[in-house]
Amino acid sequence: MSKARSENIVVKFKPGQAPGNPRGGDGGASEAQALQWKRVSDSFGPMELQPRFTAIPADGIALLESEGNKSGEPKAGSLNDYFIVAVPEGADPRAMLESILALPDVETAFIEPVPSDPVVAPNDDPRFPNQGYLRAAPGGIDAVYAWTRAGGDGAGQHVADVEQGWTFNHEDLVAKGGTLIHGSIANPSRAHGTSVLGEICAVDNTVGCVGITPALQTVVGASTNGSSVANAILACVSHLTNVVRDSGVILIEQQWVNWEGNWPLMIVEVAADVFDAIRLATQLGHLVVEAAGNGGHDLDTYRNTSGQAVLTRGSAAFRDSGALVVGAATSAAPHSRLNFSNHGSRIDCYGWGHNVNTTSSDQNGAINQYTTGFNGTSSASPIVTGAALAVQGMKRAGADKTPINPATLRAILSDPNLGTRSANPATDRIGSMPDLRRIAIAFLNVAPELYIRDIVGDVGGPHGGISSASPDIIMRNALVGNPQAAFGEGSTTENNVNLSDTVEFGSDNFGYVRVRNRAGVIGDSAVVTLYWSPPATLITPRLWNRIGSRTIDVPPGDELTVAGPFVWPAASVPGPGHYCFIATVSHMLDLGPILATIDPIQNFSAFIQANNNVAWRNFNVADIRPSGPSESSALPFFVPNPEPGPFLDMQLLVRAGLPPGSSLFLAMPDTVQPTKGLHVIPGREPRTIEVEINPNGETEPFETQVLPPMTWMTLNARVPSKYWDGEGFEVSASQFYRKQEVGRVTWWLTVPRKDG
């Protein structure tokens, strides 16, 4: 096999397992570690682990992490746990990676991605850290991600800005060569236009800020000063069509001071000439982005002089100019509509309406001024304009060089499934904010989109429920000779949820994980990891125990691809009982879950519903059977209350389908008192209580007092011996947070005959 794209493998050790002090001193690898790495070295050639982070000393990293830990967020190891190892000449990096991933002291490893010449290097722009609208969703539009994709920095794209003034030779804009193509510059408006262009295309240099599309090719301004909004739009259409001879984006940064005497700060397309100029622009292939205006109006209530609801989508009188209209929201997520923003069904998207850090100027044309407070739909519209230019740039940098037509581009940018919804869409009514990462992956097929199904029928999108029976996690007692043929695409077992054996205690067991890729590009060198967890109603990552990781190539087109085997050695298999298995998949362009960030329940409850890179399945390690002559089975499980907390709005619900004459009790520490007047009796063990549960049906969800971080509970099920005929019975316990189910553990009780 030819060498992969990189000469290095990055390795992260489990916390506390890094090989001593890598920069000298008394530390060093343990004897066991040294032996493990020697085996890898014997297979692939001489290798040497070197620290991954060397910008500051290891003790400096530790000090910074100590300070950072005061925030109370879960600690996810240390940067000092990361190392890098060069792949020896002639060695197969993929095979070497799998060997390293199999080492017990390694948490994760991956082939180092090959870098390219930096198109955007924003960290040397001193104001970049404060430009939150450039960051990942839900905070911003994730321009930072777009910069990693060809064309995502706006290379080859064109913008024409309609307003009144600019300082084109500002120190952070002069390299763009902006020119005036119509009207005359109104000096009092220089600051406004300069701020708009700074958001869109401030140069990636060592001063000031950086724009959403800093590699933009053409920047022109058409002033309404000494002219009109409609004429300025027409001038832009002509310039892009006849001079540039390419499609572009026209941004309209104007509003009517008082339309028809009753509508101050109104959207400009209510004027017929402006409406028609916009229509012409879109017909010629240019997207028009239009500020909604700052009048605080519900545009659905607007009626023209003929009494027609021309701005109300769905109305028979609605007139669509083709423009993408932008409202204004708060800078902090979840984003709420700012009260000055016009709103209604006509609005397509929103952007930050305050706290925008960008370039500025004054009426004398100062070239070195900046602002942290640009606001209004004026600051929101350039954010969406930059997103449009980035999407168009990524599309045209691909195999198909043709531009996206304006109607389709508007639909993509305003699709709530490809963006960030506002805090309360029903009342905000300002659309969604584009998410360039989602758009690039889902629409442009520039990266794989890998997923493990939660349920049969899962197609990789968000869902509203929770499943603990993924069809794609398979456990077997013996190795499968050809896993792809047995479980993969075309095997006829694609939707079979009964492919697993009961895990055997005292023996090696073998796991297989099936992955799909719904994008149009290959997911090469994807890393699939399998974990086990003790039974719990909420399987947060703190409970996950890694079994192993494998790398696979996942082809495009939703073909079911099998990773494995994951060998679970007998010595690592816990005692007989009920356990859960979790599988994750990640790729350098489609990252899996960041475990350290999802323990708090608010994050985890959203994560388990929306993340398609993770799935889990409940298993029994052995049949749950009564011990000796007893007719009872004990079903222990954890009820977590993730930190930081405590979270008060916790509820439990127990479902059971036991036969007549059965009984079911839930035992818990006596420090946890259930509410709702349930029948509570002293427990069979010291310092415990028991709650009587309906053995056939479900309880009403009942609340408990504040739970500690981890509470151990036990369901005690009694089934009369006359039903010991091998039939199975199901029992489950679910955990709710704010009336939403966030986790469940399910048991299938197989009750063997006394004589068998």
Instruction: Please give the biggest Cα pair distance in the chain.
Output: 100
pLDDT score of 544:
84
| Residue linked to tokens 């007719």 | 631
Q: Specify the higher pLDDT residue, 76 or 361.
A: 361
Specify the amino acid at residue 125: D
pLDDT tens digits along 187-243: 989 999 999 999 999 998 888 999 999 999 999 999 989 888 887 888 898 899 889
DSSP-derived 3-state class of residue 591: coil
Q: Specify the higher pLDDT residue, 73 or 361.
A: 361
Are 480 and 562 within 8 A, CB to CB?
no
pTM: 0.52
Are 97 and 551 within 8 A, CB to CB?
yes
Average pLDDT for 367-377: 94
Are 280 and 236 within 8 A, CB to CB?
no
Work out the angle at residue 164's Cα, subtended by the Cα atoms of residues 158 and 169, and round it to the nearest 5 degrees: 60
CA 208/CA 428 separation, integer angstroms: 33
Q: Which of 377-391, 548-562, 612-626 is least confident?
A: 612-626
Are 153 and 119 within 8 A, CB to CB?
yes
pLDDT score of 750:
67
Percentage of the chain exceeding pLDDT 70 = 81
Q: Give the DSSP letter string of 333-373.
A: SSP-B-TTS-BSTT--EEEE-S-EEEEE--TT--SSEEEEE
What does pLDDT average to over the chain?
A: 82
Q: Specify the higher pLDDT residue, 67 or 450.
A: 450
Task: State the virtual CA torsion across 686, 688, 692, 697 in degrees, nearest 10.
Answer: -120
pLDDT tens digits along 248-289: 999 999 998 888 878 989 999 988 888 888 888 998 889 999
pLDDT score of 74:
44
Residue 634 Cα distances to 355, 631, 713, 747, angstroms: 57, 10, 10, 11
712 contact partners, CB below 8 Å, separation of at least 6 = 636, 637, 638, 639, 669
pLDDT tens digits along 110-167: 776 533 222 233 455 678 678 889 888 899 999 998 998 889 999 999 999 999 999 9
DSSP state of 170: -
pLDDT tens digits along 36-59: 888 899 999 988 888 876 756 788
Residue 359 token pair: 């370039």
Other beta carbons within 10 angstroms of residue 670's beta carbon come to: 13
Work out the angle at residue 590's Cα, subtended by the Cα atoms of residues 556 and 434, and round it to the nearest 5 degrees: 105
DSSP-derived 3-state class of residue 709: coil
Question: Does position 674 have pLDDT exceeding 80, yes or no?
Answer: no
Q: Which of 354-358, 496-500, 645-649, 651-655 is least confident?
A: 645-649
Burial class (CB in 10 A: 0-12, 13-18, 19+), 261: exposed
pLDDT tens digits along 475-506: 999 999 999 999 999 999 999 988 988 888 88
Residue 600 Cα distances to 94, 329, 605, angstroms: 35, 27, 9
